[in-house]
Structure 1
Amino acid sequence: MCGRLSQYSGIHDFVAALSMPNAMVNSVGELPLERYNVAPTTQVAVLHVQGELLLADPVRWGWRPHWATDRAAPINARVEKVAHGPFFRAIWPHRAITPINNWFEWVDEGGQKKQPYLIRRRDGAPIYCAAIGQLPNANEGPGEHDGFVIITADSGGGMVDIHDRRPVVLNPELAREWLDPATPKERAEQMVLHQGEPAEVFEWYKVDTAVGNVRNKGETLITQIGGVS
């Protein structure tokens, strides 16, 4: 996963498809998010559960443990290692969903610039990316070291031609289970290892190279310029 996504629906639109009965504490706002070119290190809307509450909070995309000062904060975590490696041990129990509309990957097709592709669900539904993080506390508010990473897995099918890694995407039922603090860590690991949405659920198409500049923000960045795969 190259590290760029879109999050332009309103948080209530993302939550509606989850069908969660929890009362929501919304720190993201009521309006559509309208972010078409979201880059790492910026604040991204994430969903997480504390007690009986569903929390929607802006959280920095990227996290590292306090002892890892010799490297940049990763934005993704490989599903093969995330549950047992020392780097993410502290946040593995703190599960979240990053709800997005699409993400982008760049492919070298021999031009002067790599060609960006937009990847989305074929049915147009929200994409629920499995994530973990150091997350805001409902009683204390945001913390200085808050951050999150998206869990990634090997791509499959034709998506391999776009990138060899992709987010682990959960259907709404599994996303609810992932968010539930009562879900055992062992069960959570099996979900992200084996039950992510298959490549066939997604489609992808070329978009303008303007998306490569994080200063470009408009809706035209998600406009198709080639055929859909």
Structure 2
Amino acid sequence: MCDGLVQHVSSKDSLAYFAQRDTSGSRFGTPVTPLDLHETPPPKPQERHSLIKPNMQVSAIRRRGGHLECIKVRWGWSPIWSVGTMPPLTHLPLHLVMRSKVFDPIKHEGRVLVAVEGWYESQEPSSPSQAPHLAYMTSRQSAPIFLAALAQASETPFGCDGLALVTYGDIAHQQQRVLAFSAEDALDWLEPELGWEQAQQLAARLNGAQPHLEPTTKNQRPAQGGL
């Protein structure tokens, strides 16, 4: 589960990665390019000016009228039916979104991408005697990583507006990971005709394409001043 984002490059700048992409035809069913992720020591404190935590503003990319545009939205979505009864949703499992009709409006109109340099995710200890720690996940490539998300972003700011990252994984053991794309595959998430069976297949292929992540250090903690 993602606990914090590092977003040095704005979504506006990251649109350049899509400039040469031909989106005239759907690529559903084609192999997913492996996203070579690895765990590294947390960024140094002076590099953390773009660390984003829940309830902070995040830059996102969405498709409107056949064009890509950038929006700013809070990380944490408060559906109208949940206001006052539960905290803002920061993550939404793909299988839950697919199964429940309450998410119909946002899953059709609210799919967005969040361009990040990396993110912090909780790592369970290998033994009961060890404390949980935060691992910093990033890509070996210089291009941004694009996280799948759902966002409600009204033309006139509204108290319910916000964004939730989409997760997928082992439902039985509650092991969820963020749905992360390389630039070559990210726009498939924004395709208007993307059906939710196809989205599930996409997540399954990503699960097989991404390498198994092994911690490089144990009980790694961010330097003081981080998360």
**What is the TM-score with the length of structure 1 in the denominator?**
0.69
Query: Deviations along 1:86-109, whole A, 9 cap, x unmatched?
Result: 442331112100111101123347
Query: Deviations along 1:59-96, whole A, 9 cap, x unmatched?
Result: 01111321113111211111122122144233111210
Give, in whole Å, the separation in 1 of the partners of 2:160 and 2:73.
10
Higher relative contact order (CA 8 A, sep 6+): 2
Identity %: 24
Contact 1:119 1:203 in 2 (8 A): no
- Closer/same/farther in 2, CA of residues 2 and 95 from structure 1, 3 Å limit: closer
Aligned residues: 193
Contact 1:133 1:149 in 2 (8 A): yes
Could you tell me which of 159, 164, 170 is aligned with 2:181?
A: 170
Question: Equivalent residue for 2:67?
Answer: 53
Alignment of 1:25-36 (within 5 A): 35-36=49-50
Structure 1 residue 152: Cα displacement: 0.7
Q: Which amino acid aligns with 2:222?
A: T
Could you tell me which of 184, 209, 226 is aligned with 2:222?
A: 209
Alignment of 1:40-79 (within 5 A): 40-69=54-83, 70-79=85-94
Per mean C-alpha deviation after superposition, the further-off stretch among 163-172 and 61-70 is 163-172
Alignment of 1:104-123 (within 5 A): 104-107=120-123, 108=125, 110=129, 114-123=132-141
Question: Equivalent residue for 2:159?
Answer: 144
Contact 1:121 1:201 in 2 (8 A): no
Query: Deviations along 1:130-161, whole A, 9 cap, x unmatched?
Result: 1112124xxx3544322111111127xxxx9x
SS in 2 for 1:9: coil
- Closer/same/farther in 2, CA of residues 191 and 95 from structure 1, 3 Å limit: farther
Question: Equivalent residue for 1:224?
Answer: none
Per mean C-alpha deviation after superposition, the further-off stretch among 39-48 and 126-135 is 126-135
Q: Which amino acid aligns with 1:4?
A: G
Give, in whole Å, the separation in 2 of the partners of 1:87 and 1:72.
17
Q: Would you say 1:8 and 2:8 are equivalent positions? A: yes
Query: Deviations along 1:102-126, whole A, 9 cap, x unmatched?
Result: 0112334756x64321101122321
SS in 1 for 2:211: helix
Give, in whole Å, the separation in 1 of the partners of 2:165 and 2:54.
11
Tell me the C-alpha RMSD between the 2 structures: 3.2
